[in-house]
Amino acid sequence: MIRVTVIGLGSMGEVHLECFRKMDNVHIKAVVDLDEERAVAYGQKYGAKPFVTIEEAMEEEVDVVSVCLPTDQRFEIVKQAADKGVDIICEKPLARTVAEADKLIAYCEKKSVRLFVGHVVRFYPEYNKAKEAVQNGAIGKLGVVRTVRNRAFPHRETEWYGSTSRSGGVLLDLLVHDFDFLRSCFGEVKRVYAQATTSGKSEIDYALVTLRFENDIIAHVEGSWAHQKDRSAFEFAGEKGIIQYDTSQTSPLVVEKVNHDQVESPFKQSAFQAQLEHFIACIENGSTPLVSAADGYKAVAIAEAASQSVVSRQPVDLQSVMAKR
């Protein structure tokens, strides 16, 4: 039985708790939140010991710590968990900066603990189906890729999302999903160019990022916190056809070939459930995770390069960002 402590009981903390509760091989031993009333309520709901301080919670004997805190609060907490010698599941992004992500990876390696990063898009069947089709040559030689990720502004009690210094804004908190997924499809990114605007709710409400991969594939990555409804979409354009996905459509995933054949693939599986079950299985049997800590680091690096490009209004060589390692 894998014993788990969940730290941070906001929306993602609750997602983790719900997923863990469905696993027969997981026992939720402790929950942690600065809000004592919330901690107690969640402790009662999930049969766990409630804590309001990390130090007290770390005294519990557990196998895994699940870190669901705001981005700028994760660095020290991950280190504290590593000091206890337990494995760590950290929500994306791995850290606020490339430097912090690098230090966390090195620290966990030093402490001989495993660090898993919650890049959940890798576990969405729709994305995997499209990736498999592209890599199998279903639409021939790839030309241009486009992704869209739109959300309503994520209001929270402390409004930490709106502060780029805390959350990384749209580029790090939102588009890091697509940076990681596209890198898993096409390999390493060579150069990043980004533009961004704001409507006042946050420092960046809208961003358009162009990624040039080392194999010269170009991807346009669009993200926004200025919409009322959530929408995710992608389009892979190749010489033999197009693969399209759009959550706003009745049939979200369509493979449209030159001969106009169509294949529709509806999916119902919870990607978060699949992700956490995968991480727990890796902890139990020592297998290699689908998403590595190094993947998490590189996704942060792409977001940091995009942030630099917004300021400089110039393309940024990704190696110049990662050279900090």
Count of the separate structural domains present in the chain: 2
Mean pLDDT calculated for residue range 22-39: 97
pLDDT of residue 155: 63
Domain end, chosen from 52, 87, 118, is at 118
Q: Which residues pair with 191 in a beta bridge?
A: 212, 317
pLDDT of residue 152: 80
pLDDT of residue 207: 94
Of the chain, the percentage scoring pLDDT greater than 90 comes to 79
* Confidence bin at 259 (pLDDT 50/70/90): very low
Rounded to the nearest integer, the mean pLDDT of the chain is: 90
**Do 270 and 167 share a domain, yes or no?**
yes
**Do 101 and 84 share a domain, yes or no?**
yes
**Do 201 and 177 share a domain, yes or no?**
yes
**Do 26 and 168 share a domain, yes or no?**
no
Look at residue 324 and tell me whether its pLDDT is greater than 80.
no
**Do 15 and 28 share a domain, yes or no?**
yes
Going from the C-alpha of 229 to that of each of 45, 176, 251, the distances in angstroms are 30, 19, 18
Mean pLDDT calculated for residue range 20-48: 97
Q: Which residues pair with 256 in a beta bridge?
A: 242, 262
Mean pLDDT calculated for residue range 226-238: 90
pLDDT of residue 266: 35
Residue-number span of the structural domain to which 265 is assigned: 121-322
| Strand ranges across the sheet with 87-91 | 49-51, 26-32, 2-7, 64-67, 87-91, 115-118
Look at residue 113 and tell me whether its pLDDT is greater than 70.
yes
Mean pLDDT calculated for residue range 88-109: 97
pLDDT of residue 151: 87
Look at residue 165 and tell me whether its pLDDT is greater than 90.
no
**Do 155 and 292 share a domain, yes or no?**
yes
Q: Assign residue 91 the CATH number of its domain.
A: 3.40.50.720
* Confidence bin at 138 (pLDDT 50/70/90): very high
**Do 310 and 178 share a domain, yes or no?**
yes
Look at residue 171 and tell me whether its pLDDT is greater than 50.
yes
pLDDT of residue 252: 63
Q: Are the C-beta atoms of residues 61 and 268 closer than 8 Å to each other?
A: no
